[in-house]
Amino acid sequence: MENKKNFYITTPIFYPNANPHMGHAYSSLLCDVLARYHRLLGVETYFLTGTDEHTEKVVQAAMERNQAADEYLEVIVARFKNLYAELGISYDQFIRTSDRTIHWPGAIEMWNRLFAAGDIYKAKYEGLYCVGCESFLTEKDLVGGMCPDHSRVPERVTEENYFFRLSKYSDEIRKLILSDTVQIFPAVRKNETLAFIDGGLKDVSFSRPNEKMSWGIPVPGDPGQTMYIWVDALTNYITALGFGRGEENMRFWPGMHIIGKDILRFHTIFWPAMLLSAKIQLPRTILVHGLITSEGKKMSKTLGNVIDPFELLAEYGTDAVRYFLVRHVHPFEDSDITKESFKEAYNANLANGLGNLVARVMKLAEDNLPAPVERPAPKEFPEEYVKAIEAFELNHAMDFIWNNVQKLDERITKEEPFKLIKSKPEAGRVLIAELVVELYQVGRMLNPFMPETSKKIKEAILANKKPETLFPRKD
């Protein structure tokens, strides 16, 4: 199934229990940039996103609105798709785990493979359960008796569930991670995963009683039990490709996952163990990004520091939001953003920076060149740019582009083409044509990051016209 000529990338599938937020936007945007970059290189690319719908949080959110789960989901899933449309997310498929045609057959096939391998067994369980995490916790997971991610006391439950023999695969997963057969970026998340393993892996619940969780996929052969979220949800990465339905696109597997650090162990431990049990290749790469905070705190309606991506998109436009999230949010560490920092970066680097440069160069071209500059043949991307993208340091790739913007600005200031064209017209035209070519290369590098802006720059060059203001200044 492996074919290195293909590139397969996935977002997490998100809980649609509330409106999409900046974290959803960021994960999806990282995937989109990498997908667009590989398409630009001529690599056959498949980009998957979607929603994880068989969760208690979805059921609770629907009940709060006096709706059935499927009725509630139609509205909230549409909002996720609207966000992706407005953010320019170029996914190839949007998978929903409630889809009985696309997803259910593969999820059932996965269960059957785990069962056939002897890795599923039924047992009674008594322990702590956090609805926010959709996960069972141990005492050592708690901070002050509460879930550290949701600041709530988990409920104590006693259930008879099916369990997966996660502990059986501890040594094998450890070796695969140490050898970078499964690459985990950054190194701190790789080490965190190894620490989880070294702390001792316990078998995990892979089902819940129907009376506790009826919204989901029934366990094959035991309709009194519902598949638990992780065996259902994680399998989406291959059910989307046809696993369980004929495997028409499984040639794209294995691929690359981009996730937030809050779901690390499920993707770096649970998922590899399931694939080993089912005798399916493991993912090549798992990129783990940090969280987005505002004013130094996790975004919260109570604190009043929530930044709505739809509001930013409405005020500043698609490419401005893409610019800020990729350049000013660190791909590996937690990053803090505020509306003030967004506006400052917009004015300094887009309105006064890139937008002003495009206007200067194309005004010179429009006024002084008799015809459009012949479209330059695509050159190899600069080494520094390529290295940054291949190391997933997308912020550094953007820094490189803006260094080129600054150099081009400085060249105009130093060589003064507006004066040269008057004293030495031919030399002036040559200089202006060179500036246009350099601007074209900037536009080409922008393509994966700011596709609308890239297109507008290229169209202006082909028309030999100064475009309308790309980024109007915000007061």
In the structure, how many helices (H) and strands (E) does the chain have? 19, 16
Classify each residue of 318-332 as buried b or exposed e, where b means 16 or more C-beta atoms within 10 Å of its C-beta. bbbbbbbbbbbbebb
Q: Give 147's DSSP letter.
A: B
Verify whether residue 31 is a known catalytic residue.
no
Q: Which of 5, 124, 140, 301 is catalytic?
A: 301
Residue 70 structure tokens = 């499927």
Verify whether residue 54 is a known catalytic residue.
no
Verify whether residue 301 is a known catalytic residue.
yes
Q: Which of 150, 175, 297, 379 is catalytic?
A: 150
Contact 111, 104 (CB under 8 A): no
Question: What is the C-alpha separation between 414 and 312, in angstroms, rounded?
Answer: 36
Q: Which of 133, 190, 257, 267 is catalytic?
A: 133
In the chain, the amino acid numbered 97 is T
Question: What is the C-alpha separation between 87 and 85, in angstroms, rounded?
Answer: 5
The conformational region for residue 297 under phi > 0 = left, psi -120 to 50 = alpha, else beta, is beta
Verify whether residue 57 is a known catalytic residue.
no
Q: Which of 130, 190, 289, 456 is catalytic?
A: 130
Residue 85 structure tokens = 């449309």
Contact 272, 22 (CB under 8 A): no
Verify whether residue 396 is a known catalytic residue.
no
Contact 32, 88 (CB under 8 A): yes
Q: Which of 37, 7, 41 is nearest to 378 (CA)?
A: 41
- Those residues whose C-beta lies under 8 Å from the C-beta of residue 139, and which sit 6 or more positions away, are 128
In the chain, the amino acid numbered 283 is P
Contact 52, 233 (CB under 8 A): yes
Q: Which of 168, 212, 261, 298 is catalytic?
A: 298
Q: Which of 31, 38, 54, 147 is catalytic?
A: 147
Question: What is the C-alpha separation between 427 and 340, in angstroms, rounded?
Answer: 44
Residue 470 structure tokens = 């790309």
Question: Helices (DSSP H) in 13-103: which residue ranges?
Answer: 22-40, 56-64, 69-87
Residue 39 structure tokens = 């398409």
Verify whether residue 21 is a known catalytic residue.
yes
Question: What is the C-alpha separation between 370 and 392, in angstroms, rounded?
Answer: 42
In the chain, the amino acid numbered 474 is K
Residue 187 structure tokens = 């190194």
- What are the catalytic residues? 21, 24, 130, 133, 147, 150, 298, 301
